[in-house]
A and B are shown apart, each in its own frame.
Chain A
Amino acid sequence: MPVYFSDHEVVLPGQLLSDNGKRSGEGTYVADGKVYASQVGLATIRNNRVCVIAFKGAYRPQVGDEVIGVISDVKPNGFDVVLGKHLTGVIRIPDRRKVQNLGLRVGDVISARVKESSLRGIILEHTRRMRRFDKGLLISIHPAKIPRLIGRRGSMINMIKRRTGCRIVVGRNGLIVISGPSPAQEFAAVTAIKEVEREAHTQGLTERVGKLIDSILKGGVR
């Protein structure tokens, strides 16, 4: 199947990527049966689909994503959850008593899974895998950098968790909750994550971030 790019080539909006319109993936669109890039990013093939891994851009919720948000409103039939700059998700609960049982209040930070993302809005699951954070630091990074923070099969995030001894929950929307045994360890984790965000495109990053964490925990730096 012919494609018009080499793997991980930088492509621009409007660039022709493939003649087969059925292979259009993320960051691309189809016109006249052909696949074109719609964002600036690296072109690659995932699951036999032509994709563009965008360098920048807003988070677009996909069903099944794990996201972190802040409760912004409590209603009789559910909650509104702020998921970042421009997104508000909702949790719908038909039973009023259950809303009260959950005990969520405005300002609470929760993680939940996206059940539906459509014209009706972003609907979050409340039955499974929803949890409230009682303590910890809430930080935000650019959503486009989240895959790098997680790393190949979680290599990056697991390394940060291991070395800092912190519990870290990463939301696809760019919000992250960190809670650790001591402020120093939490600080090390925050610094490491910010470093990943800044240096996401460079090579040998996992190793360097590991060293950075070690030097902070030894009390050497800043």
Chain B
Amino acid sequence: MSKPKLITEDGIRTDGRRFDELRPIKMEVGVLDKSDGSAYVEFGKTRVFAAVFGPREVHPRHLSLPDRAILNCRYHMTSFSVEERKPLGMTRREVELSKVIREALETVVFLEEFPRTCIDIYIEVVQADGGTRTTGLTAASLALADAGIPMADLIAAVAVGKVDGQLVLDLNDIEDKYGEADMPIAMAPRFDSIVLLQLNGRISKDEFPRALALAKKGIMEIYKLQREALKRKYSATPQGGM
């Protein structure tokens, strides 16, 4: 298939957005009964569940650390999440993303509160349309907060990229495939610190700060939605006396 036109002369993208617009976002916290904390996040057609279990015992026991908890993270795409059936099991890509997501989350979770235990995070992509790692990370941080695990801040993530020579926010699948660059960024917004940054493709030295600023703008919007989603779950309940 030849490269489709991704941005019209009026600056409208394939799904009708402007360059600095996010897809329609939906977030819900506490969606799974059996987990200690869970979240569902939707960025347009990308749909992701995250579940957190723990702190719990480490198996096998010798992997446990005497001074802090270990964080296990599994990012996985369901076989029906993409156009062509994805075989079951972890691909190299999924193993790598599990690792970078785990490292991003480790920066905010206070692991030293639970020595000799592990915290398991399962991220399941049920429908993929670009930006699954950022959506997964956004969902995972909500699930961690929902599980009551102490953390310094929530993590919000979004991708920026270069499409038809223009910087755009929150790439979808077509833009990712046919665009010139894709740069997922995750931040702990409270401290303005970047916890994940990857870059696939090329952007120039001048474009980079502009891309970063664009991502930050998107991240602040996502952060706000995350906070609203958490508050929605817990504020609905009236306060009882202690």
When the two chains form the complex, which single residue of A8, A39, A152 contacts B239, counting CB atoms closer than 8 Å? A8
* A14 nearest in chain B by CB position: B153
Name the one of A86, A148, A202 contacting B57, with C-beta atoms under 8 angstroms.
A86
18 contacts between A and B (CB under 8 A): A12-B145, A12-B230, A13-B153, A14-B152, A14-B189, A29-B150, A29-B152, A31-B191, A39-B149, A40-B234, A56-B36, A56-B147, A57-B147, A85-B57, A119-B66, A147-B242, A203-B238, A203-B241
Are the C-beta atoms of A39 and B241 separated by less than 8 Å?
no
Across the interface, do A53 and B242 meet the contact criterion of CB distance under 8 Å?
yes
Mark interface residues in B124-161 (1 if CB within 8 Å of A CB, else 0).
00000000000000000000011111111110000000
Known: A13-B154, A40-B234, A60-B114. 19 other contacts (CB 8 A): A10-B231, A12-B227, A13-B150, A14-B153, A14-B154, A29-B152, A31-B191, A36-B152, A36-B153, A36-B190, A38-B151, A39-B149, A55-B234, A57-B147, A86-B56, A121-B116, A148-B240, A200-B240, A202-B238
State the Cβ distance, A28 to closest chain B Cβ, in Å.
9
From A14, A38, A40, A121, give the contact of B110 (CB < 8 A): A38
Contact call B230/A40, Cβ cutoff below 8 A:
yes
Instruction: Please indicate the chain A residues that have their CB under 8 angstroms from the CB of B36 in the complex.
Output: 56
Contacts A13-B154, A201-B240: A86 and B117 contacting too (C-beta < 8 A)? yes
> Does B37 have its Cβ within 8 Å of any Cβ on chain A?
yes
Task: Please report which residues of chain A, range 75-96, place their CB below 8 angstroms from some CB of chain B when the two chains form the complex.
Answer: 85-86
Is B148's CB under 8 angstroms from A39's CB? yes
A42 at interface, CB cutoff 8 A:
yes
- In the bound complex, what is the Cα–Cα distance between A27 and B150 (angstroms)? 7
Residues on A with beta carbons closer than 8 Å to the beta carbon of B219: none
Chain B interface residue count, Cβ-Cβ cutoff 8 angstroms: 40
Q: Which of B67, B110, B116, B151 has the most CB of A within 10 A?
A: B151
In the complex, the chain A residue whose C-beta lies closest to that of B141 is A13
Contact assessment for A13 and B242 in the assembled complex, using a CB-CB cutoff below 8 Å: no
Most chain B C-beta atoms within 10 Å of own C-beta, residue among A38, A39, A54, A205: A38
Option from B115, B188, B241 in Cβ contact (under 8 Å) with A14: B188
Minimum CB–CB distance for B53 against chain A, Å: 10
Are A42 and B152 neighbours in the complex by a CB distance under 8 Å? Answer: no
Distance (Å) between the CB of B18 and the closest chain A CB? 30
The contact of B190 among A14, A39, A54, by CB within 8 Å, is A14
Q: Do A148 and B56 touch (CB < 8 A)? A: no
- Residue ranges of A at the interface with B (Cβ–Cβ < 8 Å): 8, 10, 12-14, 16, 27, 29, 31, 36, 38-42, 53-58, 60, 85-86, 119, 121, 144, 147-148, 152, 200-203, 205
* Min distance, Cβ B141 to any Cβ of chain A, angstroms: 9
Contact A13 B231 (CB under 8 A): no
In the complex the two chains form, what is the Cα distance from A203 to B234 in whole Å? 15
Given the complex of chains A and B, what is the CA–CA distance between A53 and B242 in angstroms?
A: 10
Say yes or no: B114 contacts A58, CB within 8 Å. yes
Provide the B151-188 mask, 1 if CB < 8 A to any CB of A, else 0: 11110000000000000000000000000000000001
- Select from chain B the residue with minimum beta-carbon distance to A150: B242
Beta-carbon contact of B117 and A57 below 8 Å: no
Q: How far is the CA of A205 from the CA of B55 in the complex (A)?
A: 30
Cβ of B207 within 8 Å of any chain A Cβ, yes or no, is no
* B136 CB to nearest chain A CB (Å): 18
- Select which of B108, B148, B239 is within 8 A of A42 by beta carbon: B239
Is residue B237 within 8 Å, beta carbon to beta carbon, of the partner chain?
yes
Q: Give chain B residues whose Cβ lies under 8 Å from the Cβ of A202.
A: 237-238, 240
| Other-chain contact of A40, B56, B115, B145, B152 (Cβ < 8 Å) | B145
Chain B's nearest CB lies how many Å from the CB of A145? 11
Chain B residues contacting A16 (CB-CB under 8 Å) are 190
- B8 on the interface (CB 8 Å rule)? no
Point out the residues of chain A lying under 8 angstroms from B188, CB to CB.
14
Give CA–CA (A201, B237) in the complex, Å: 7
B 216-242 binary contact with A (CB < 8 Å = 1; else 0):
000000000001001100110111111
